[in-house]
Amino acid sequence: MAITIDMIKQLREATAAGMGACKEALNATNGNMDEAIKYLREKGLAVAAKRVDKESKQGIVALATAADGKAMALAEVNCETDFVAKTEAFIKFVDDAAKVALEGKDIEATLNDDYKMLLTKTGENVKIRRSERFELTGSGCVSGYIHMGGKIGVLVELACDKTDAKLDDAAHMVCLHIAANAPKYLVPEDVPQAEIDAELEIKLNALKEQKGKLPPEQALVGIKKGMAQKFCSQICLTKQDYVADPDMTVEKYLDTVSKELGAPIAIKRFARLQLGA
């Protein structure tokens, strides 16, 4: 069967694959449009299999928000090059992935055909890496933020009995802080003791090397306590110095907003997705 330019254009419109790939698919399937689409999808999987050893550290983190603002989701999809990450097809796929995550569905299963076609279009090792979804539980708000054009994505949920613009603004500012300061935990009680012990071992070894020996055990108790508190203040969201005002912690910033609202504010949870990290 003769493959015409109109057939190639039709397949291209249906799949967004390159003209050359569309012509190849039509030739391989004797002009059968449905079979040609299937051929391109399978080719996409073959491309991915060949490039499985290639690093995929570029990509995008996208945010999707429910119409009522009470649920938000992040999705991270990786590719090999920044060039592909900026293409319309890749950006659309990641946006769709975030919307699927918002619906609570499995991204890979829901977008399986689109994923195969994306592999064909990009010719790169594309990976659907991870997603996060927050839905408001009780009274308060959820907020989301995308930093550096999709390099970092943040979600946070605040609990508060009074909800107005001040609470939304506070949630947004906490998102900005999380993006900038990358906390690992919410409060010191969340930090595993093993992680604290490992940090103390490093600090005490450095102290011993500097001083030649460690202080007496009685003094060491207070030193360890101070080291542990400082470590937790660096990695725990509530204890970090607030990015917009280093003279107060995030906890104290929210206390200030709480007084303005006339109701306490608590951070229930947060998530931070950094591209490739």
Res. 11: pLDDT tops 90: no
Q: With 90 as the cut, is the pLDDT of residue 124 above it?
A: no
Summarize pLDDT for 208-257 with one digit per residue, the tens.
Answer: 888 777 888 888 888 999 999 999 999 999 999 999 999 999 999 999 99
Mean pLDDT of 149-161: 97
Report the pLDDT value the prediction gives residue 48, as an integer from 0 to 100.
56
For residue 247, what is the enclosing H or E element?
A: strand 245-249
> Which of 19-33, 81-95, 179-193, 256-270 shows the lowest mean pLDDT across its residues?
19-33
By mean pLDDT, which of 45-49, 77-81, 150-154 is the weakest?
45-49
At 54, the amino acid letter reads K
Binned at pLDDT 50, 70 and 90, residue 78 comes out as: very high
Average pLDDT on 74-95 reads: 95
Q: Give the tens place of pLDDT for each residue, 13-28.
A: 777 677 888 888 889 9
125 pLDDT above the threshold of 70: yes
Identify which has the larger pLDDT, 43 or 186.
Answer: 186
Q: What is the pLDDT of residue 194?
A: 96
pLDDT band at 52 (very low <50, low <70, confident <90, very high): low
pLDDT at residue 45, as a whole number: 55
CA atoms within 13 Å, Cβ hemisphere of 207: 13
CB 157 within 8 A of CB 268: yes
Percent of the chain with pLDDT over 70: 96
Judge if pTM exceeds 0.95. Answer: no
Helices (H), 147-271: 165-181, 193-211, 217-235, 250-261
Mean pLDDT value of segment 111-124:
86
Contacts 24+ apart (CB under 8 A), 257-263: 257/166, 257/167, 257/170, 258/160, 260/166, 261/160, 261/162, 261/164, 261/166, 261/167, 262/162, 263/160, 263/161, 263/162
Highest mean pLDDT among 23-37, 180-194, 217-231: 180-194
Per-residue pLDDT band at 10 (split at 50, 70, 90): confident
Distance CA 206, CA 227 (A): 12
Domain annotation for the chain: domains and CATH numbers = 5-50 (1.10.8.10), 52-135 (3.30.479.20), 192-235 (no CATH)
pLDDT band, residue 164 (cuts 50/70/90) = very high
